């Protein structure tokens, strides 16, 4: 018999262009699958595809870096809650079907009707962990919630917190 061949590990590139692929995949990986970490590049590369670095030599952002930064900042705002509810009926990821399309989607999240709309590749994660609690994370979008807590007179007890 000849020498045994070992499988060589393959590097997989996630972002194929200068568009919004990496931010979209980050929201899906973390929100729907509970991935503990997301990197849009292989360990041996500092940018998604050759000759398209996220940071140019002069220090300015390029090639999709701004959208990826927005996605990471949004995820960081509520990462403990996102990882806790990832993959459950209490968490839903909202984004347009294809990059560049207008976002308009209505879904049920833990028994509440949630409508998310937006443009410019906006996306959101909505978590409904308890009957009177919602966690909204996202950028470039608007979120509308329909639940008993938002009906009169319950709406007087609604408390909204904003984080960064």
pLDDT at 16 over 50: no
pLDDT score, position 12: 37
- Kindly state the average pLDDT of the residues 48-66: 75
Report which of 103, 126, 122, 123 is spatially closest to residue 114, judged by C-alpha positions.
126
Q: What's the CA dihedral at 26, 27, 33, 35 to 10 degrees?
A: 40
| Separation CA 70–CA 27 (nearest Å) | 11
Q: Evaluate whether residue 109 is within a structural domain.
A: yes
From the CA atom positions of the chain, what is the Rg in Å? Answer: 19
Q: Evaluate whether residue 63 is within a structural domain.
A: yes
pLDDT score, position 44: 45
Domain count, the chain: 1
Give the 3-state secondary structure of residue 113.
Answer: strand
Q: What are the tens digits of pLDDT across the range 58-97?
A: 878 777 777 778 888 888 888 888 889 998 999 999 988 8
Structure tokens at 136: 């909204």
Range of the domain at 29: 21-157
């Amino acid at each position: 018999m000849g020498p045994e061949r070992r499988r060589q590990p393959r590097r997989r590139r996630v972002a194929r262009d200068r568009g919004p692929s990496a931010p979209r995949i980050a929201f899906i990986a973390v929100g729907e699958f509970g991935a503990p970490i997301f990197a849009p590049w292989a360990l041996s590369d500092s940018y998604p595809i050759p000759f398209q670095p996220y940071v140019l030599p002069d220090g300015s952002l390029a090639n999709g870096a701004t959208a990826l930064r927005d996605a990471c900042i949004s995820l960081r705002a509520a990462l403990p809650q996102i990882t806790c509810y990832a993959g459950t009926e209490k968490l839903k990821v909202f984004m347009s079907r294809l990059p560049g399309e207008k976002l308009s989607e209505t879904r049920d999240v833990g028994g509440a009707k949630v409508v998310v709309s937006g443009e410019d590749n906006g996306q959101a994660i909505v978590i409904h962990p308890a009957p009177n609690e919602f966690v909204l994370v996202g950028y470039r979008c608007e979120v509308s919630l329909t639940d008993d807590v938002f009906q009169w007179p319950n709406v007087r007890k609604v408390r909204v917190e904003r984080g960064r």
